Amino acid sequence: MKKYFLPIFLICALLTPTQAKQNKMQSTVLNTLEQELKREFKQLKKAKPPVYFMSYQITELDNYYLDATLGTISYEKKINEAYLDIDVRVGSRELDNTHKIKLIDMDLLSNNSNKNPFVIKVPLTNQAALKNSIWLTTDLVAKAAQEQYLKVVNNNKTAATRNDNSADFSKAPKKPAQYIADMPEVEINIPELKKELESLSALMKGYDFIYASGIEFYAVKETNYFVNSEGTKIKEPRILIRLSYKINSRNKDGMQLSRTNSYDGVTMQDLPSEEQIKQDILKSIEELKQLQNAPSADTFHGPVILKNRAAGVFFHEILGHRVEGHRQKDDDFGQTFTQKVGEQIVSPIITVYDDPTMTHFKGVPLRGHYLYDDEGTPSQKAMMVENGILKGFLMGRSPIKNFPNSNGHGRKSYGRKVVSRMGVTVVEAQNQIPYDELVQKLKEEIKRQNKPYGLIIDDISGGFTNTDTYSPQSFKVQPLLVYKVFPDDRPNELIRGADIVGTPLTSFNKIIAAADDNALFNGTCGAESGWVPVSAIAPSLLISELEVEKVNKTYDNVPILPPPSAENKTKKEAK
């Protein structure tokens, strides 16, 4: 889509100025936040009980959405807004109001929720109005924090002790972060973009097995303003552009079938050409047609290749979420890896780290990249697993035993409270081999295990993992394209309706080989601190044993009449 860059008069600057200019440019919003924080903190630290830390964060969002279906624009929306999140900590770093209440009975007033009930929309164009909003909200947040602190103090006396008694908040950094950058410039030719989406969505017309389809464009310009009482002062802009399509069908047995694809960038030039997207759509249509006629999956356990992007999602879901720092501290989580630092938890050929400082992979921008996390800590590479051995956790400013400091992974979306999250998760493997050789190794493994077939998980939509103690410590990953691979020369066979299930400790140790085809999955991850953009990079992996179960399906029958756009085609076929 490079042609959008043409500076003709119809082009509108969607997402503005360029080049980060650290510590040089002033920000009125940031200064207003800083002034009000200083004024409020001066008085609140004398309150009873006293406030010892405060931060103000404004998330300024400038969103644009454009959808097309069957050759016509079907939805368009633009919305500009800004949200204020306030963190007020009462007590001390050792014990403050954020300390999790240990539930003795079902105490509905314990306020352990990760939602911020006081998030509000604020006006940024008027300093007096902004200050007024900050003042009113600070009062609500501070009073709630004081109330919660009193509950925490009492709960600490009356409830049983927890395994990890680390402090609630890490020490102030020696040098608080100061960073101010302005929004880079991005230009989008909206009329051209509309033509493009209409043309691409028209490709999905005329197929009797496509029941719904569409192409979506989404651009967000997000500016994160952050100040705290330790002197941190940040204005970090972020741009995310995504173009995606979805093509849906349904089988006669009620199973929902779909093919989707998405492309990410921070400028329009990052998106692939129209021709490339066209080819991808046509390929997806063909895959969907094949899926309609594909046999339904049986339950299975045996050797599996997780293709690169699928492997990235697999590690994100199954390992990544389990090494988030806050889950090691809270006894309500399964703490699969808490006591295993220094032990082998994954096959020794695997190394995993999370590095949000990375900006690109093979020229493609990484959605999970950021410079400062939502606690104002600079992002940094965090080693999770080195040669199969657990080295550490993803940390925000909530310390855990032996890990007292943040490594810049405290993240959230507006209206939520920070927990540690992934950014750019990278899976590296030793002794990588060409993909074809990996497939040969799969065939050998099928024979060795005397299985009738193995599987290749080619594409994956997402997944989830249970991390609390109430549920089994299991995971489920939802593939979109799965092929049966036979030990002989028979061609691969597409199947539908398979979910990968398992438990992490067992599954990770069964990785036996990796291909040299590292690839990127850009996505959005939802957890208790909201939806955050993430990336995962991994090679294709051969796993000696994974379990597959049948998907849950509906009983919705296929439409009685063919889609209108395929009506003539159906009539011709009938003749």
Partner 1 sequence: MKRFSIIICLFTATNVFAQTIKNDVVFNAMEQEMQRTMSLSKTAPKIHFAAFKVGDYSGVSVIAARGGIAQEQQKQWVNTDVNLRVGTQKEDSSFFEANTLTQSNLQDGALSPEGIRAGLWAAADKTYKQALDIYARKQGYKNKKAQEEVFDDFSAATPVQDVKTYEKTIFPMDKFKEIAQKTSAAGATNELEKFNTNIVASEEIVYYLSSEGAKYTKRDLLIQITFYAKGRTKTGFEFDDNKTLSYAALKDIPSVKKLENIARNFAKQTAAFTWAQKGTAFIGPVWLSGEASAKMFENTFIKNINNTRKTIFDMGNGNFKYSLGEFALKENLKVLPVNFDVVDNPLQDNFNGQKMIGAYNVDDEGIKAQALSLVKNGILKDLPKTRSLIKGQIKTNGHAITNWGESLYAKANVRNLFFFPHEITPIEEFKQKFMNYCKAEGLEYCYKISTRNIAGKGDILTTKINANTGEETPVYGLNTPVLNTRTLRDIKFAANDLTLYNTPAGISYVVPSVILSEVELTPSQASPATKMLVTRP
Q: Which residues bind partner 1 (CB under 8 A)?
A: 10, 12-16, 36, 39-40, 43-44, 47, 62, 64, 68-82, 121-126, 128-136, 138-139, 142-143, 183, 188, 190-191, 194, 205, 211-212, 219, 221, 557, 559-561, 563-565, 567
How far is the CA of 300 from the CAs of 45, 350, 448, 487, in angstroms? 61, 25, 16, 16
CB 148 within 8 A of CB 111: yes
Q: Is 239 helix (H, G, I), strand (E, B) or coil?
A: strand
CB of 52 to partner 1, least distance (A): 15
CB 168 within 8 A of CB 93: yes
CB of 82 to partner 1, least distance (A): 7
Residue among 237 and 396 whose Cβ is closer to partner 1: 237
CB of 365 to partner 1, least distance (A): 20
Distance separating alpha carbons of residues 302 and 127, to the nearest angstrom: 63
Torsions phi, psi for 573 (to 5 deg): -60, -40
Residue among 191 and 295 whose Cβ is closer to partner 1: 191
CB of 364 to partner 1, least distance (A): 24
CB of 214 to partner 1, least distance (A): 8
Residue among 44 and 319 whose Cβ is closer to partner 1: 44
CB of 69 to partner 1, least distance (A): 5
Helices 127-158 and 28-44 cross at an angle (nearest 10°) of 40
Beta bridge partners of 521: 536
Residue among 36 and 354 whose Cβ is closer to partner 1: 36
Q: Is 210 helix (H, G, I), strand (E, B) or coil?
A: coil
Residue among 186 and 371 whose Cβ is closer to partner 1: 186
Beta bridge partners of 454: 485
The residue count of the chain comes to: 575
Amino acid identity of residue 174, one-letter, is K
Residue among 211 and 475 whose Cβ is closer to partner 1: 211
Q: Is the peptide bond before 117 cis (omega within 30 degrees of 0)?
A: no
Residue among 526 and 564 whose Cβ is closer to partner 1: 564
Residue among 359 and 557 whose Cβ is closer to partner 1: 557
CB of 124 to partner 1, least distance (A): 6
CB of 29 to partner 1, least distance (A): 11
CB of 201 to partner 1, least distance (A): 9
In 3D space, the residue among 459, 461, 460, 463 whose CA is nearest the CA of residue 474 turns out to be 463
- DSSP character string of 43-73: HHTTSSSPEEEEEEEEEEEEEEEEEEETTEE
Task: Check residue 38 and report its DSSP letter.
Answer: H
In 3D space, the residue among 185, 104, 177, 110 whose CA is nearest the CA of residue 150 turns out to be 110
Distance separating alpha carbons of residues 310 and 347, to the nearest angstrom: 18
CB of 290 to partner 1, least distance (A): 23
What tokens does 182 get? 């302005």
Task: Check residue 323 and report its DSSP letter.
Answer: G
Residue among 11 and 501 whose Cβ is closer to partner 1: 11
Residue among 134 and 442 whose Cβ is closer to partner 1: 134
Distance separating alpha carbons of residues 514 and 534, to the nearest angstrom: 23
CB 271 within 8 A of CB 231: no
